[in-house]
Amino acid sequence: MNQVSSTSFPSPPSKLNLKPQANLHPLPTRIRHPNDLHTLLLVTATSRTPLITLWTASWCPSCTVIKPLLRQLIEHDGIGEAEGGVGYAEVELDSSLIGDLGVTYAISSMPTLMAFSRQEPQLETKVARVDQLKDRKFLEEWIRTEARRGGDGGAGGSLFGGWFGKG
């Protein structure tokens, strides 16, 4: 069984800051192991901050275009900050340690953009269409919508996409 290394986190912040802080281990922003995602989900749930994830692979040409655009919007332009903020991480599905994490969250194509709120995947708002992922205006509005969720969930959906009816 893999152990997560102990990490120091500040008391639950009112706003999540994924940037490294003095005397603290930085939170992972590149997910290469399921424990990395689990750690981020716990921290974002505690801070009531939605986590935006971009599911990528090194061999994905569209991913190389979309990754810097998303980073620019979230980390530099502050899209979503006025609505409460978001965390951001890239899930590297071709990591040798990632296991079946993509299957767990029904990731069937790359790139895929998916938010988590209160540790729940927001499957109803997942985006996998490359034309939408390259559209700056679409991404800005999508990020703002997820930020407004503020860790309250609400678009979780079902892993089976309604095949067995609504619960």
Burial 56-88 (b: 16+ CB within 10 A, else e): beeebeebeebeeebeebbeeeebbeebbbbbb
Query: Which fold, 30-149?
Result: Glutaredoxin (3.40.30)
- Give the residue among 158, 149, 98 at the shortest CA–CA distance from 124: 158
- DSSP letter at 72 equals I
Give the residue extent of every domain in the chain. Answer: 30-149
pTM (2 d.p.): 0.76
* Residue 50 to residues 18, 28, 136, Cα–Cα distance (Å): 12, 15, 20
In order along its 167 residues, the chain shows pLDDT tens digits of 444 333 333 333 334 444 433 334 455 689 999 999 999 999 988 888 999 999 999 999 999 999 999 999 999 999 999 999 999 999 999 999 999 999 999 999 999 999 999 999 999 999 999 999 999 999 999 999 999 987 665 555 444 444 433 33
